[in-house]
Amino acid sequence: MTAIITAAELASESAGPRRPVLLDVRWRLGGPPGRPEYEAGHLPDAVYVDLDTELAGPPGAGGRHPLPDVAAFGAVMRRAGVSQDTQVVVYDGGQGWAAARAWWLLRWTGHADVRVLDGGLAGWPGPLSTRTPTPAAGDFDPVPGSLPLLDADGAAALARDGLLLDARAAERYRGDVEPIDRIGGHIPGAVSAPTTENVAENGSFLAPGTLASRFAGLGATDDTQEIGVYCGSGVSGAHQVLALEIAGYRGALYAGSWSEWSADETRPVAKGPDPQ
């Protein structure tokens, strides 16, 4: 099953007999909050899910956006109407990072039918709604493990022996600037692969073949190679995992990412354009 859906396809499915559950996860690093945007207009029947409080645990040892408590995440999804057998479509304002985080969490916890609205809300052709829906509770029971997950040691091992992609902007990878975390730079051996280069100007993903060529140029060899991804806090990294899936590769997410790695002063840090 494809991991993304176009606005036209969603409009058609929403008018059919098996309407997907819609999750609005609008969020931007540094704000403003997505809830007021949701209340001002969202896809009809979409339920708002907050990335900072419902798609992540409290900041701490696991980074700025550690994985949420699995039971709490399941409760959020059931409250939004998600069941084991429902189709789920997640969207954000267009950047795709927050939607990919929700996609990854649902897939990681065993939901088989979840897609991201390609290009986000901006491409929706129909009217928006200001009504907050109250869907019937779903029965989704999250069981982690359906997608590969890395910890810091696993990311370090992949940087040495496999392919570890750094999804942040190139200037943060090089360590030229670091606006958020303790120190700039990258995990030694990681390859710079800004997630912004996976999409067109409108935020829609590039064609699968184009993405496959991009990842091959970064060192991906075949669909059996182990590939890891990290970013600042496990949000844009999920977008990179989604891009890899579209391209035919399987990516493992280092959820703690640079915010966890850089907080540990015993972990090595590389700077500059060279992976090492």
Tokens 């708002």, residue?
48
The arrangement of secondary structure in 4-123, i.e. its CATH architecture, is 3-Layer(aba) Sandwich (3.40)
Task: Tell me if residue 184 is catalytic.
Answer: no
Using an 8 Å Cβ cutoff, are 163 and 223 in contact? no
pLDDT score for 33: 83
Q: Average pLDDT in the 105-119 region?
A: 97
Using an 8 Å Cβ cutoff, are 126 and 16 in contact? no
pLDDT score for 31: 76
Higher per-residue confidence, 187 vs 32: 187
pLDDT score for 129: 96
pLDDT score for 17: 83
Q: How many CB atoms lie within 10 A of CB 15?
A: 9
Averaged pLDDT score across all residues of the chain = 95
Report the amino acid identity of residue 169. Answer: A
Any idea what the Cα angle at residue 36 is, between residues 32 and 42, rounded to 5°?
120
> What are the structure tokens assigned to 207, written together?
């064609």
Q: What pLDDT digit, counting tens, does each position of 190-210 carry?
A: 999 999 999 999 899 999 999
Domain 4-123 and domain 149-261 have a common topology? yes
Which fold does the domain 149-261 belong to in CATH?
A: Oxidized Rhodanese; domain 1 (3.40.250)
Specify the range with the lowest mean pLDDT, choosing from 24-33, 110-119, 179-188, 196-205: 24-33
Closest CA to 156 of 192, 193, 186, 185: 186
pLDDT score for 1: 64
Query: How far apart (Å, rounded) are the C-alpha atoms in residues 229 and 88?
Result: 24
Q: Average pLDDT in the 15-41 region?
A: 90
Q: What pLDDT digit, counting tens, does each position of 123-173 carry?
A: 898 899 999 999 999 999 999 999 999 999 999 999 999 999 999 999 999
pLDDT score for 225: 77
How would you write 214-241 as a 3-class SS string?
Answer: HHHHCCCCCCCCCEEEECCCCCHHHHHH
Closest CA to 87 of 6, 1, 205, 147: 1
- Choosing from 80, 150, 231, 243, the catalytic residue is 231
pLDDT at 224 over 70: no
Instruction: State whether the Cα torsion 242-244-249-253 is positive or negative.
Output: negative
Specify the range with the lowest mean pLDDT, choosing from 59-63, 109-113, 184-188, 210-214: 59-63
Q: Average pLDDT in the 3-12 region?
A: 95
Using an 8 Å Cβ cutoff, are 117 and 89 in contact? yes
Higher per-residue confidence, 119 vs 28: 119
The model's pTM: 0.96
Return the domain boundaries, the chain: 4-123, 149-261
pLDDT at 18 over 90: no
pLDDT score for 15: 86
